[in-house]
Structure 1
Amino acid sequence: MKSGLIVWFRPVSMFSVQERARVFPFIGFILLLAAEPLLKTGLTSIGLSVQLTYVLRTLLAVCVLFYYREHYIELVQRPRVHHVFWALLSGLIVFLLWILPYPEWIGSKKSGSFAIPIMGNPADLFWLACRWTGSALIVPVIEELFWRSYLMRKLDASDFMAVSPVTASAYAVVASSVLFAVEHQLWLAGLLAGLVYACLYRRFQLLWVSVLAHMTTNAILGMWVIAGGHWLYW
């Protein structure tokens, strides 16, 4: 019997350490994102840049990941050359899917633009480095541990650690990808990305393949944003 979304409605104390290790980094990152307006107000009141909000979210995620590092057994096995090839190729394809000119009714970025003032001073360059590093290296680990390693398998069985990725049902792949899409403004691109990452995990049974594909997508997207001033994608 599938556990479904009932996994969300439990006290924290009822989550196993394996669940907490995969849920807490993601939830912490999302909660700080939701609290961003308050964080910006607080930072401004003490004379600090509002751009530090992203740095704080990333640092929190890194700290939680480090705290639970011994529990990420799905990251112990390292990818081989063919794994890296498929991860890079898939990540590039997802990037291209992400920047397609979608109509607004399927989640297109709104018309108009805003620019983050990058003046070339050390503070701006530091923020850009932190923003790109967080997006390309930290966020993919957080999200793949949560969406693919945890939720996709949890939708098939309460004891998600006992579920081999190769046995993940179509229901689990699609449902977790739909929820992943809801997290993103470009929901169709998010859905396609979620399906690609989920299928990679299912096919190779190695979370690093999904992580590397996700890293590739975010890294290229970040460079595209900076080089072309496509700030709406950030």
Structure 2
Amino acid sequence: MSDMPAPPLRPRVAPCALAAGLLALEFLVIGMIFKHVIDFDCRGNWGVTACGTASKSLAALYCMIAAVGLFSMLRPALFRDLLSEAGHDARPLLLNLAGFVLAMIPVLMLQGATGTAMMAPAFALWIAGMGLILTGLAGWLAPRFRWRAFLGQTGLPLGVALIASGLAPALAVRLQPIWQIERISDVTFRVVTMLIEPLGYDLYVDPIRKHIGEGDFILSIAPACSGIEGIALVMIFVSLYLWLFRSELRFPRAFLLFPVGIAASMVLNAVRIAVLLLIGLHGQPELAVGGFHSHAGWMMFTIVALGIILIARRVPALHRAPVLRAARTETLPPLWRDPVAARILPFAVFMLTAVVAPAISMTPAMLYPLRVILVAAAVALVWPVLRNLVWRISPLSWLAGILVGVMWVLIPVAPTEGPLPYGTLSGGMVALWFLFRGIGTVLLVPLVEELFFRDYLETRLRGSEPDSPAPMARVILAALITAGLFAALHDRWAEAFVAGLVFSLVARRSGRISDAIAAHAAANLVVFAVAVVTGNLAII
């Protein structure tokens, strides 16, 4: 088991990356479930104001977090001191987990509910849950005395940045009337038409009503689809950037970021609508309108806002004096030789493909071969590090894995109703799909999950040095937290929690992550074999 402590008084990058990834995952799950999964008509029961407040609150949190990232560019020394002990205490992650549980409790209250009886309890649980989620991550990133020192030195600028970014989503809506929305809609419609027409579709195009489509799938590019909200958000963030870095920037040249931001927002919004139209024209109208449309807008805003700011930081003409980078006291290894990247990158690719697949296909499991190829490419990239691991495996590891697999298949699971996971594939393509499914399930998934959960995350949570074993209470806590997070990724969370504890015990016993990988692979082999023989792929 590896342990890679960061130098003192420098930001501990890996815990910060873990905190950012965990927060993004939690917000994504909360947003997706409450918007698209549970059977609850928010506007029909609570009204536009309450539902808009709930939706905009999550967006406001996104913007506030982005503002903190922007502020870190302004005061890098303060952030280095703040984050110098990140990840030293794992206990705050329990608060984070408790907050996530609280925020998810309204699922049980709202599923199939009607009326406003559950509105106040739901909002109370959401507020308390979000507070604990953020408090837990703040405690994971820095102890209280460092937060007190940090807040004492940042003062008014950080407060202004947080307030402005928190109000940004609501302000973006309020600013819509001052824009020439009809003209922006006209430009968006023309760009979408220019992008789609050369592809050979027999399109119905009505420039007066701004309708475009084919057959039963017709899009109306109304003012609401002009991307004006995204443009307003980008302008707010550019304004915030100009204010925070006003002492460094050269005016009036810096004001060029406004037209650049508007143009980039309009172009990417047109691309978003064109992609949405293509998805609908290819027989997936529900995916186009209900899945892609609702999330691609925020992706475009993030790309434009951060892209403009990052580019602006590298354009000398926009600054009063050349910005000289401080010489680094140590050279970071390239990505393919970085031991932290080797444990995180393949898992990040695995999770990213799991999120993207449902957004682009109504049968995401059919894309599993593509996911296997992408994850395998990530593993190949960091293989120079992984091949140096101790790959000696104890026979007890295989036995433990087989027992986990037997437990998994003995607990009955009803076959999934609906379309087959491999979709419309047939003949040899089905056999090829099963081959990739087996490679992913038995070889790649155990490797990437164990490297991340047991070799990286659990080791960091224990926080012990190689020659100084961690207290048993901390070892147990680290195993429980890791198993809990591991279980959260599985539909069969109870079985996954037990499996996670077994894999942790196997790795802890020998001190080799290869034993946990072998146990996980043996368990998955048993499960996959039974699933193929019985035809019940739901047990995987």
**What TM-score do you get using the length of structure 1 for normalisation?**
0.77
Task: Mark the CA change 1:228 to 1:24 in structure 2 (over 3 Å): closer, same or farther.
Answer: same
Distance 2:450 2:357 in 1: 23
Aligned to 2:390: 77
TM superposition shift of 1:131: 0.4
Of structures 1 and 2, the one scoring higher in RCO (CA 8 A, sep 6+) is 1
Matched, 1:98 2:431: no
Structure 2 residue matching 1:99: 3-state secondary structure: helix
Report the number of matched residues.
Answer: 210
Aligned to 1:54: 368
Structure 2 residue matching 1:155: 3-state secondary structure: helix
Task: Mark the CA change 1:166 to 1:134 in structure 2 (over 3 Å): closer, same or farther.
Answer: farther
Q: Runs in 1 of length 4+ with deviation above 3 angstroms?
A: 3-9, 49-52, 109-120, 162-168
Contact 1:94 1:193 in 2 (8 A): yes
Q: Which ranges in structure 2 are unaligned for 5 or more consecutive residues?
A: 1-87, 94-136, 142-331
Contact 1:166 1:205 in 2 (8 A): no
Aligned to 1:40: 361
> Structure 2: which amino acid aligns with 1:22?
R
Distance 2:454 2:469 in 1: 12
TM superposition shift of 1:231: 1.6
Aligned to 2:124: none
Aligned to 2:347: 26
TM superposition shift of 1:3: 4.3
1:101-141: CA deviations, max 9, x gaps? 36xxxxxx567545457997211111101101111011100
Aligned to 1:189: 495
Task: Mark the CA change 1:165 to 1:222 in structure 2 (over 3 Å): closer, same or farther.
Answer: farther
Contact 1:165 1:201 in 2 (8 A): no
Distance 2:391 2:405 in 1: 24
Task: Mark the CA change 1:120 to 1:56 in structure 2 (over 3 Å): closer, same or farther.
Answer: closer
Matched, 1:227 2:533: yes
Contact 1:155 1:172 in 2 (8 A): yes
Larger radius of gyration: 2
Contact 1:151 1:176 in 2 (8 A): yes
Distance 2:481 2:89 in 1: 12
TM superposition shift of 1:230: 1.1
> Structure 1: which amino acid aligns with 2:525?
A
> Structure 1: which amino acid aligns with 2:446?
P
Distance 2:404 2:469 in 1: 22
Aligned to 1:217: 523
1:55-89: CA deviations, max 9, x gaps? 1211111111111122237x622325xx0x21221
Distance 1:78 1:32 in 2: 28
TM superposition shift of 1:50: 6.3
Structure 1 residue matching 2:361: 3-state secondary structure: helix
1:165-188: CA deviations, max 9, x gaps? 975711111111111111111111
Structure 2 residue matching 1:129: 3-state secondary structure: helix
Distance 1:66 1:202 in 2: 26
Distance 2:492 2:503 in 1: 16
Distance 2:366 2:457 in 1: 30
Contact 2:406 2:526 in 1 (8 A): no
Task: Mark the CA change 1:120 to 1:86 in structure 2 (over 3 Å): closer, same or farther.
Answer: farther
Distance 1:50 1:176 in 2: 27
Contact 2:90 2:461 in 1 (8 A): yes
**What TM-score do you get using the length of structure 2 for normalisation?**
0.35
Structure 2 residue matching 1:20: 3-state secondary structure: helix
- Alignment root-mean-square deviation, CA: 3.2
Task: Mark the CA change 1:224 to 1:113 in structure 2 (over 3 Å): closer, same or farther.
Answer: farther
TM superposition shift of 1:33: 0.9
1:4-57: CA deviations, max 9, x gaps? 544997xxxx9x93322211211211111111123326xxxxxxx966511121
Q: Which has the higher mean CA deviation after the structures are superposed, 137-146 or 166-175?
A: 166-175
